[in-house]
Every structure is written in structure tokens, then in C-alpha cells.
Amino acid sequence: MIRICADLESLSHAAAELFAAEALQAVQDRGRFTVALSGGSTPRRTYELLAREPFGKTVPWQSTHIFWGDERCVPENDPRNNALTARQTLLDHVPVPQKQIHPMVCDRFPQQAAVAYEALLRDFFPDGHPRFDLVLLGLGANGHTASLFPGTAVLEEQQRWVAEVSVADEGLHRLTLTAAAINQAALVVFMVSGSDKAPILRNVLKEAQDPHSIPAQLIKPVDGGLLWLVDRDAARLLRQRKE
């Protein structure tokens, strides 16, 4: 499903409202809400909104468990660190118990960090399916999502839930949930904003399947929902009924 919002601000409000609704439903149904946050710049405004009223009061933060879809393997105080961004914009302002916040810590030994984070997830989801209630994702202009980059071996990974990725043109290692793990989620929401994302968004949604070149096409929840929250600028190349 694609929902076209007027701009990033309205996209962010829609995302925050969806986050709150999913959280309330999950806690009502199962007593907890599990979410994997996205990195990048697009979700920042959503996180800022969630840190304020009415969401400060409406979201059941005490029953919320925070994970990440991916992380850059840099020190936790490095401005590129996704967990740092989430703490600054959201987590330092809402009462999620610290023991329920699970950052990917990979600035020293990425391979061991991937194994450790997978063990944490398998302990948290003992039935063998990492069924996050919500996974938030962004879309890179080259078709990557989380840290599933074009041409990387992690795209073929069917068994592991977490893998380390070396991103050559960044000179960085990263950790990422694999597509196999993301596709176990109850709901996956892409947030895509800006005119520069219009070509890749069209390619992801309208072009023939080519997930090796466009990894975002790997995201097809097995038994869950998939929502594209996009703004008008990003959707300018899609012929789609506007909302």
C-alpha cells in the first residue's frame, strides 16, 4: 500500500500516529510493543514528534522494546550513529526502560557484534521468528534499505537475522537485519521523502524485480503488512491516486 502525504511534515505526523496506534494495539494484544527503528535523516522528525505530546502520554513507552534495523559501526557518540540520533530526538525524552533499548554496538568487532545481536534477538523471539510489531525503513537513492546495499552478499542471506556489511564507498562496516528477518515483521513501513528519491521509488515499485540492484525490492513481509509512506515530491514519478 502507498500513502502519499503532502510533505515531510505530514508524512512524519502520519508515521508518528501509526507508531502510536501499532504500539497501543500490540500492548493490548500481547503486553509489549517491539519496534526496529530506522537510521538516516527521514525519520528524525517522526522521532521528534513522538517525543512530544500527545505521543508522550499516548504511547505505552513502559511496554515498548526498541531495536534497530541497522547501524553504522562507529562509536556511540559519533553523529553517524543511528542509536545516537534516536536517543537525541526520542529516547532521551520518553520513559522507555533502559533495559528495553537494544542498540547494535559494532564499532569494534562487526562480525562478533552481528552474532551477539542475533543471539539477543533469538532470545527475545524464542519461537524462531523475529516478529517485530513494526519495522521502520528508509530508502537510499541507490535502492538500499537498512544496510542492505546493492551487490552485497547479505542480500542472499536466508538463515541469519543479523549480518555485518562492509560498505566500500563509505569506508564503513555496518550491521543490518537481513531481509529474511525484516520479512517476518507484522508491519514494515518505508518512509520516503524528497524529489531526489522519486526515481528510485518508481524503480522499486514499478520496475521489474531486480533485488540484487534494488535491495528494497527484497522487502516482502511473509505474513505482515507493507506500507509506503511517501511525500508528494518522492511520488512525483508515480501515477497514483493522491490522498
Report the alpha-carbon distance of residue 122 to residue 127 in Å, rounded.
8
Among 12, 64, 89, 145, binds ligand 6PG (CB under 6 A): 145
Residue 146 makes contact with ligand 6PG by CB under 6 A: yes
Q: Which residues contact 233 (CB under 8 A, 6 or more apart)?
A: 7, 193, 194, 195, 197, 198
Smallest gap from residue 86 Cβ to ligand 6PG (A): 11
Largest CA distance in the chain: 47
Smallest gap from residue 40 Cβ to ligand 6PG (A): 3
Among 16, 22, 23, 39, binds ligand 6PG (CB under 6 A): 39
Stretch that binds ligand 6PG, among 18-26, 33-41, 122-130, 211-219 (CB under 6 A): 33-41
Smallest gap from residue 57 Cβ to ligand 6PG (A): 28
Residue 82 makes contact with ligand 6PG by CB under 6 A: yes
Nearer to ligand 6PG, 43 or 63 (CB): 43
* CB-CB contact of 214 with 200 (8 Å): yes
* CB-CB contact of 241 with 202 (8 Å): no
Q: And the C-alpha cell for 72?
A: 553504522
Nearer to ligand 6PG, 63 or 113 (CB): 113
Q: Which residues contact 205 (CB under 8 A, 6 or more apart)?
A: 2, 228, 238
Residue 12 makes contact with ligand 6PG by CB under 6 A: no
Residue 138 makes contact with ligand 6PG by CB under 6 A: yes
Nearer to ligand 6PG, 146 or 181 (CB): 146
Q: Which residues contact 97 (CB under 8 A, 6 or more apart)?
A: 62
Which residue from 195, 217, 157, 175 is spatially nearest to 67, judged by alpha carbons? 175
Taking CB atoms, the residue at the shortest distance from ligand 6PG is 138
Binding site for ligand 6PG (CB under 6 A): 38-42, 69-70, 82, 138-140, 144-146
